[in-house]
Structure 1
Amino acid sequence: MTRSPIWHSLSEVPAELGATAVSIGNYDGVHRGHRHVLSQLIHHARSRALTPVALTFWPHPRHVMRGVAEPPLITGHEDRDRLLLLAGVGGVLDLEFTREFAQHEAEEFVRIFLVEGLGARCVVLGEDALFGRANAGTIETMRELGEQYGFEVVTVSDLGPEGQGSGRISSSAIREALLGGDVEEAAVMLGRRHTVADVVHHGHRRGREMGFPTANLGPAPQGLVPADGVYAGFLTVIEQHPGHLGTPALAGAPATISIGTNPTFTAQGVPQRTVEAYVHDDHTLDLYGDTVRLEFVDYQRPTLKFDGIDDLVEQMHRDVEVTRRTLDTSSVSEPPAD
């Protein structure tokens, strides 16, 4: 049986891994800036016959130290690690971040995890990287420890939206774009379209009654949910419910995605924010229990409250037509990584 290249403790790191080149970060979003660092990691690893490894953490250190789920994360746990592997690294050491873990001094962290744990011979970091207790370790600290323990330190300049040296791509800028509904700008910084994923849940079946059956995600999908509104996008089934095995799984199916509290129906109950997707033209789909990924292409309009069901249905027909025109000019595949 092939061992997973994702390790959650040093005891899971395979003994045959050999010497490594390592980069450290939270990698929320695994955006173009992150992938720029990872591409340099892979380049330097190959030129030195080392295995490139990304060392990362979960939960996000700020969530643990502040005790609140801020900032909201762009990618879920599994998606983040999947994207790191897709970037080309040979392994991901995904460590649980706790308050106890945070007490590792900079030298102790480097010795235990980089030197003894991963056999690091090269460490590749952004110029503003911090590590160790209270983020006391800097690039200069890492260089000093590299001389002490026998590894090389390589720094990588920031990558801007238009390329190296033109500003800085950051996870916070991507969050700001998504929370403002600007999924196109987020895609530029991510280098791919933003996605969320979850198991399809049973909803109120209102969409089916109106001729627009939707796949309803749960209240806390993996990935940052963009601002309320209607979006053009795609739906892909990434894991089928056991009862659906043997039937073709959707991949890149055109969809109109709605996010909001369904204000037309708020009088019928307590408002609850939902994420739901109407897959075009197929009203026979059974996606309940499947895990799906929604890919956001373009923002179409804000959430509106309608005077009646007929007005809402008419608007939904218009939404689907706008989505069709939008997707006709868009590629189903994600943009290539840097």
Structure 2
Amino acid sequence: MTRTPIWHSVQDVPADLGATAVSIGNYDGIHRGHRFVLDQLLRHAEARSLTPVALTFWPHPRHVMRGVAEPPLITGHADRDRLLLLAGVGGVLDLEYTLEFAQHAPEDFVRIFLVEGLGARCVVLGEDALFGRGNSGDIETMRELGRRYGFEVVTVADLGPEGEGSGRISSSAIRAELLAGDVESAAEGLGRLHTVTDTVRHGYQRGRELGFPTANLGPTPDGLIPADGVYAGHLTVIAQDPAHAGTPPLTGAPATISIGTNPTFEVDGTPRRTVEAYVHGAHDLDLYGDRVRLEFVAFQRPTLTFESVDALVEEMRHDVEVTRRTLGTVHSRPAMTD
């Protein structure tokens, strides 16, 4: 049996893992700055014949400490861990973050999780890293604990937009770009297309009636929903409903993605925000129950209200044509795929 290299407690860590090099972080978005740190982790692990491991947390510590789901996260839980593995680490220790967990003193955290749990011989961190109860441990604390417990501490400079030392690529900046609909700038910071993932469910069937059947996601897909509007993108089926077994799953299919409350139509006067994707040419496609990943390539237009259904249909035809042109001419960074 193949072991999944994602562990949720130190008891899950394989006994034969061996000595490790470890990097610690929340890794929201797994952006270029995160991957720069992870690349350094891999380099130092290889030089020392160690297994590279990422130590991370879920839920986000800020959500737990503040009691509210703010800030919204760029990447869902499963995708975050998937992207960590795709970055090349040999394992992910994904710990549940609770108020009780937050009370670990810096030394207890290091001893329990890094030394005893992972057998760390090298720890790779940014200069501004904080850890332990009340963020009371800093990089000097880690160096002192490294001397005490026998592991090396390696610091990594921030990666900025123009390379090392040119500022900082941050999850906060990428989050703000997505919330403004600027998926292209967000892709520059991420080093890949932004994605959201969910299971396709039944909607109001309006798109099918108008000749543009759409795959409808739920109200809270995994991944940050960009600003309302219409986008050019792709749709990939990552897990099929058993009823669709035998049908080749879509991979990177051209799609026009709409986000918003469909202001041309009202349902009981209560607006409901939706995310839906029209797969080009797929008029008879059945995706209900499939888990899909949407990739956002470019923003096309804001959400509009139309005076008639005919005007809406005409605009939808135009949206599809704009998507075709965009996907044919824009060099889009591919998402990291399985």
For structure 2, the residue ranges without an aligned partner over 5 or more in a row are none
- Alignment partner, residue 144 of structure 1: 144
Deviation string, structure 1 residues 265-320 (Cα, Å, up to 9, x no partner)? 02654100000000001101000000000000000000000001000000000000
Q: Please give the alpha-carbon distance, in whole angstroms, between the structure 1 residues aligned to 2:104 and 2:330.
A: 47
Q: CA deviation at 1:166?
A: 1.2
Percent identity reads 77
For structure 1, the residue ranges without an aligned partner over 5 or more in a row are none
Q: CA deviation at 1:65?
A: 0.6
1:51 aligns with 2:51: yes
Q: CA deviation at 1:256?
A: 0.2
Higher mean Cα deviation, 258-267 or 235-244? 258-267
1:159 aligns with 2:159: yes
Equivalent position amino acid for 2:270 in 1: V
Q: CA deviation at 1:331?
A: 5.2
Contact residue 297 and residue 332 of structure 2 kept, 8 A: no
Q: CA deviation at 1:148?
A: 0.5
- Alignment partner, residue 228 of structure 1: 228
Q: How does 1:189-338 map to 2 (within 5 A)?
A: 189-266=189-266, 268-330=268-330, 334=334
Q: Please give the alpha-carbon distance, in whole angstroms, between the structure 1 residues aligned to 2:336 and 2:92.
A: 21
Alpha-carbon spacing, 1:244–1:336, altered in 2? closer, same or farther (3 Å): closer
Contact residue 234 and residue 332 of structure 1 kept, 8 A: no
- Alignment partner, residue 17 of structure 1: 17
Deviation string, structure 1 residues 243-278 (Cα, Å, up to 9, x no partner)? 001111000000000000000002654100000000
Deviation string, structure 1 residues 98-156 (Cα, Å, up to 9, x no partner)? 00000000000000000011000000001111100001110010000001101000000
Q: CA deviation at 1:17?
A: 0.2
Equivalent position amino acid for 1:66 in 2: R
Deviation string, structure 1 residues 174-202 (Cα, Å, up to 9, x no partner)? 00000000000000000000000000010
Q: Please give the alpha-carbon distance, in whole angstroms, between the structure 2 residues aligned to 1:230 and 1:309.
A: 17
* Matched positions, count: 337
- Alignment partner, residue 100 of structure 1: 100
Q: Please give the alpha-carbon distance, in whole angstroms, between the structure 2 residues aligned to 1:148 and 1:267.
A: 64
Equivalent position amino acid for 1:255 in 2: A
Q: Please give the alpha-carbon distance, in whole angstroms, between the structure 2 residues aligned to 1:95 and 1:101.
A: 9
Q: What is the SS of the residue equivalent to 2:16?
A: helix
Q: How does 1:61-140 map to 2 (within 5 A)?
A: 61-140=61-140
Q: Please give the alpha-carbon distance, in whole angstroms, between the structure 2 residues aligned to 1:136 and 1:225.
A: 34
Equivalent position amino acid for 2:30 in 1: V
Q: CA deviation at 1:330?
A: 3.6
Q: Please give the alpha-carbon distance, in whole angstroms, between the structure 1 residues aligned to 2:336 and 2:2.
A: 28
Q: TM-score when scaled to structure 2?
A: 0.98
Contact residue 191 and residue 336 of structure 1 kept, 8 A: no
Contact residue 8 and residue 95 of structure 1 kept, 8 A: yes
Q: CA deviation at 1:336?
A: 7.8
Contact residue 252 and residue 332 of structure 1 kept, 8 A: no
- Alignment partner, residue 27 of structure 1: 27
Alpha-carbon spacing, 1:18–1:271, altered in 2? closer, same or farther (3 Å): same
Q: Please give the alpha-carbon distance, in whole angstroms, between the structure 1 residues aligned to 2:43 and 2:319.
A: 45
| Structure 1 residue ranges, 4+ long, deviating more than 6 angstroms after superposition | none
Equivalent position amino acid for 2:37 in 1: V
Q: TM-score when scaled to structure 1?
A: 0.98
Contact residue 215 and residue 278 of structure 1 kept, 8 A: yes
Q: Please give the alpha-carbon distance, in whole angstroms, between the structure 2 residues aligned to 1:132 and 1:76.
A: 24
Q: CA deviation at 1:167?
A: 1.2
Q: CA deviation at 1:165?
A: 1.3
Q: What is the SS of the residue equivalent to 1:95?
A: strand
Alpha-carbon spacing, 1:171–1:59, altered in 2? closer, same or farther (3 Å): same
Q: Please give the alpha-carbon distance, in whole angstroms, between the structure 2 residues aligned to 1:302 and 1:288.
A: 27
Contact residue 193 and residue 333 of structure 2 kept, 8 A: no
Q: Please give the alpha-carbon distance, in whole angstroms, between the structure 1 residues aligned to 2:333 and 2:106.
A: 42
